């Protein structure tokens, strides 16, 4: 029996497959993978290690200085772009091949002052707000803002970009409006003689659904982990590229730690949300909402043991959950239980729907970072002898 309480397996073969699919779409242009938020729960350091050895990955996108430094700490050397707010000491990334997003005069002046102090030049990407209305300079102010940045000798413009608000939807009029607005800004700036090493607009969904000939870098996040941005995006993508498919790379596992008999009429778990209608055999697994397993999955979801689904019964506790194993023959303490993976009923997308949350990113992102991640090369679907989950099998 393994001594690990719970662990995450990351399938390197599936990761490389997903990278190859997006690279085939964009051709000789640059693929930057988004690995913020602990690589959407997959482990920023493990994914960075895998990507460092994959020649199709050009660079990384992260949200914080700490994330950038964690990538450098493991020896990964590919370029990094920090796409969110300044959250730490910019001097810590000097000469580390890390670029920063800038979007207002205050952040630019602050970076300039740090650059002067340390006799350093910060590479920056200018963010243009085309409709998301978070960070970004207004399109009509882009030229003046660039003039301001050009007046600061310790800032070097390496790119310009924007971000989609709803590119995962089938109804794409707003996304096209954003694209056209950004393209118009770029064309005007180029006419005025400005040059940008990198121009980028697309996220995972837009990379496969939009034509973006004016872009030379693509930021792909959820897709590299084998998760579709939406069912709409899958249908649009596979109509455009019939060969395109994604393979989820994450499988979350634990082991059975206790098995007991429960009499008919007994209540199971906190708040007595489940009552046994017949005599039952239940098992305890040492995973709960502290680990990132969604509390709302109680009495709804299941895990897989010995190739069979075992329903969660009773509340998901902080560090423990109980499952009905009455129908599973030859079950023993130490048997492996699969909580989440590329299978029917436990796919992150389906678990999200069961929890009332259609955002598949949240289901993996909130998995506790302290849980061990292990790189595997085994095709988990074949090993488990289970049917792979298909997002199209679930209603929107």
Question: Which residue numbers are catalytic?
Answer: 36, 270
Please spell the DSSP secondary structure of 217-244, one letter per residue.
EEEE-GGGGT--S-HHHHHHHHHH-TT-
Token duo for residue 135: 């960070």
Grouping H, G, I as helix, E, B as strand and the rest as coil, residue 286 is coil
For residue 10, give the nearest of 52, 53, 49, 59 by alpha carbon: 49
Both ends of the chain: CA-CA distance in Å? 40
What's the rounded Cα separation, in Å, for the pair 11 and 24?
20
Grouping H, G, I as helix, E, B as strand and the rest as coil, residue 314 is coil
For residue 298, give the nearest of 314, 275, 283 by alpha carbon: 314
What's the rounded Cα separation, in Å, for the pair 183 and 214?
7
Please say whether the beta carbons of 331 and 346 come within 8 A.
Answer: no
Q: Which residues contact 55 (CB under 8 A, 6 or more apart)?
A: none
CB neighbourhood size of 297 (10 A): 22
Q: What angle do CA 143, 145, 148 make, to 5 degrees?
A: 115
């Amino acid at each position: 029996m393994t001594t690990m309480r719970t662990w995450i397996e990351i399938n390197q073969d599936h990761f490389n497959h997903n990278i190859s699919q997006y690279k085939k779409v964009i051709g000789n242009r640059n693929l930057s993978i988004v690995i913020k938020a602990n690589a959407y729960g997959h482990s920023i350091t493990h994914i960075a290690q895998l990507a460092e050895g994959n020649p199709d990955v050009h660079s990384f996108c992260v949200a914080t200085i700490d994330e950038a430094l964690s990538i450098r700490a493991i020896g990964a050397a590919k370029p990094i772009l920090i796409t969110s707010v300044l959250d730490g000491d910019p001097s810590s990334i000097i000469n580390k091949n890390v670029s920063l997003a800038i979007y207002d005069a205050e952040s630019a002046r602050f970076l300039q002052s740090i650059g002067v102090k340390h006799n350093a030049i910060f590479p920056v990407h200018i963010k243009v707000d085309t409709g998301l209305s978070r960070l970004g300079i207004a399109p009509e102010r882009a030229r003046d803002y660039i003039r301001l940045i050009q007046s600061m000798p310790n800032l070097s413009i390496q790119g310009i970009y924007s971000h989609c608000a709803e590119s995962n939807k089938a109804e794409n009029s707003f996304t096209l409006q954003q694209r056209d607005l950004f393209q118009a800004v770029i064309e005007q700036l180029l006419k005025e003689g400005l040059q940008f090493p990198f121009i980028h607009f697309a996220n995972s969904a837009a990379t496969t659904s939009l034509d973006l000939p004016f872009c030379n870098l693509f930021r792909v996040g959820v897709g590299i982990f084998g998760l579709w941005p939406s069912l709409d995006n899958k249908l649009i993508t596979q109509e455009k590229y019939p060969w395109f498919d994604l393979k989820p790379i994450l499988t979350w596992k634990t082991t059975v730690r206790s098995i007991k008999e429960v009499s008919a009429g007994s209540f199971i778990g906190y708040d007595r949300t489940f009552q046994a209608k017949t005599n039952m055999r239940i098992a305890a697994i040492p995973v709960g909402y502290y680990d990132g397993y969604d509390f709302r999955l109680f009495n709804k979801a299941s895990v897989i043991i010995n190739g069979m689904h075992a329903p969660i019964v009773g509340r998901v506790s902080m560090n423990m959950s109980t499952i009905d194993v009455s129908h599973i023959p030859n079950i023993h303490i130490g048997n492996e239980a699969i909580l989440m993976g590329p299978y029917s009923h436990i796919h992150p997308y389906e678990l999200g729907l069961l929890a009332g949350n259609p955002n598949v990113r949240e289901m993996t992102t909130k998995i506790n970072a302290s849980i061990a991640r292990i790189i595997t090369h085994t095709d988990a679907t074949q090993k488990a002898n289970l049917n792979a989950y298909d997002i199209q099998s679930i209603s929107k």
